[in-house]
Amino acid sequence: MESAAVPVHADEPKRSSAPGQKGLKANAIGYASNVVIAVASTAPAYSLAATLGFIVLVGGMGVHAPAIMIVSFLPIVFVSLGYRWFNLHDPDAGTTFAWLTRAMGPQLGWVNGWAIFLADVVVMASLSVIAGLYTFRLVGWSAAYHSTTAILIAAVIWIAVMTWICWRGIELSARIQQFLLTFEVVILAIFAITALVDIYTGHVLKGAGVKPLHPELSWFNPFALSSGALATGVLLGIFIYWGWDSGVAVNEESENSAEGPGRAAVLSTLLLLLIYVLVTTGAQSVAGTGFLGTNSADVLSPLGTVVFGNGVLQKLLLFSVLTSASASTQTTILPTARTTISMAAWGAIPKIFGRTHVKFQTPDVSTLAMGAVSIIWTVFVVLIDPGKAGNPGNVLLDSITAVGFAICFYYGFTGFACAVYYRRELFVNAKRFFLVGVLPMLGGLLMFAVFAKAYLYYDVTKNNYSPPFDGFQVPIVIGIGGLLLGIMLMLVAWPFQKEYFKLRPETADPAVLEAHFACSK
């Protein structure tokens, strides 16, 4: 390892941490797979089922949930531009970890690598439990649905199966994601379109609490909301967009690794915006805000009955949530394993985590370790607070909230670091200043603002599911406590990974942006 990070030049000596030198399978997937993995990682059906009702319940929200989907998109797309420009210069599977190491030094790089790991492990419990619950709900196995033991066994099996798929090869992972996401998006589109057609034709099915509404342009106006309602809604909105960066984490295994994954990141956020606005509008129209709030723990299951009755399509909507959660379980393992293999290649953690499978060319130890840690965390969270009657426990629900702190942390640093890394190239022209500097930095600043708002909001007991733990709110213990643990682990690692911590920040090679913008003219 050299004593300072260096730009990625074609003629530089190949280090073990350089893109293409980690043992991952090059050119294994194409641009379409990058987009699919990015969108699937957000788990659109699961995210809407688990979050839309809580957005509606925000005080003062009223009918403006579609506006929240639009406003929440803005910091996400701004940060995705940071991913775009960073990946153009350095298509490293470690993404934020590698880029922060280059732009702002190894200490911030290490902690941001930890933040990715933290967020992915914490959310795995929710994804696997939801997959287990929907498996039993789909087949009508009521006894298992209400059994903590059965739910926990199903969750562990889902994690184990998806870990095996990720370990088995990136091509298999990509093919499965293409099937699962296609099914999920088609069913969500049928649901939203059917709901809107029913509204305008007057064929809405009646049910308890159902109060249909005709869509209005005012639903999409965020300026009709108070600053408090807007900020709180965005806190929840950020979570449902999270995950699109998984498509960039497989960059070293992608065709056109410098360009394709970065473009896929931006495109995936646009596709998610379309999906979320369309489904939110259809759901609110066909049932009303009161129905969504009453069924906030899972809005899609009862909405399926309202729109489709108890027929085949209602079952398929349930199945789409199952495939969504299971697909996201898989695509959460993918980026985590690639973050840790990159950290090992850079010398930030023990080299054993950098081992790749000889035949499958996947992160061998990192993938299996991610699966094992996820199982341990899931068992712990479920057993400490099992929940009742097929509903997740309070600690598990608060852990989903806690993920937002890690998300805003590493997304925010990525956007900010992009402007820092390219700072010497920003004043060449207005286009470069705006696209490479202003927008990514603005995205980062918005993420930090959401982080601060989240702390203030969740530091109030009534805004959480669980009672305080030793005076601290559970989401803050898991989220911010987890980040502080990362800082302590970084300090512990420092004496053992001395060469990595000798690295110094750098600035981007000007030839990269010059070549890109010259080609785009």
**DSSP code per residue over 115-180:** HHHHHHHHHHHHHHHHHHHHHHHHHT-HHHHT-HHHHHHHHHHHHHHHHHHHHH-HHHHHHHHHHH
Question: Which residue shows structure tokens 């069913």?
Answer: 187
The span from the CA of 238 to the CA of 242, in Å, is: 6
Query: How many CB atoms within 10 Å of residue 79?
Result: 32
Closest CA to 89 of 520, 519, 514, 394: 514
Mean pLDDT estimate for the chain: 92
**pLDDT at residue 1 tops 70:** no
The span from the CA of 300 to the CA of 289, in Å, is: 13
Which sign does the torsion angle of CA 162, 164, 170, 174 carry? Answer: negative
The values of phi and psi at residue 165, to 5°, are -60, -45
Closest CA to 343 of 312, 365, 361: 365
Mean predicted confidence (pLDDT) in 113-133: 94
Closest CA to 183 of 36, 320, 318, 307: 320
- CA 112 distance to own-chain centroid: 15
pLDDT tens for 265-286 read 999 999 999 999 999 999 999 9
pLDDT tens for 464-497 read 989 999 999 999 999 999 999 999 999 999 999 9
Check if the beta carbon of residue 95 is closer than 8 Å to that of residue 19.
no
Q: Could you tell me which CATH number the domain at 44-519 has?
A: 1.20.1740.10
pLDDT tens for 44-81 read 999 999 899 999 999 899 999 999 999 999 999 999 99
pLDDT tens for 208-261 read 788 999 999 999 999 999 988 998 899 889 989 999 999 999 999 999 999 999
pLDDT tens for 295-317 read 987 899 899 999 998 889 999 99
**pLDDT at residue 410 tops 60:** yes
Give the residue, 140 or 447, on which the prediction is more confident.
447
Check if the beta carbon of residue 241 is closer than 8 Å to that of residue 320.
no
∠ CA 267-330-140, rounded to 5°: 110
Residues 6+ apart with CB under 8 A from 45: 184, 187, 188, 300, 317, 320, 321, 323, 324
The span from the CA of 435 to the CA of 424, in Å, is: 14
- CA 106 distance to own-chain centroid: 24
The span from the CA of 340 to the CA of 24, in Å, is: 13
Check if the beta carbon of residue 115 is closer than 8 Å to that of residue 483.
yes
Check if the beta carbon of residue 215 is closer than 8 Å to that of residue 64.
no
Enter the tokens of residue 282.
């259809």
The span from the CA of 279 to the CA of 292, in Å, is: 13
The span from the CA of 475 to the CA of 465, in Å, is: 9
Structure confidence at residue 375 (pLDDT) = 97
Domain spans of the chain, in order of start: 44-519
**pLDDT at residue 3 tops 60:** no
Structure confidence at residue 12 (pLDDT) = 42
Enter the tokens of residue 227.
């600053």
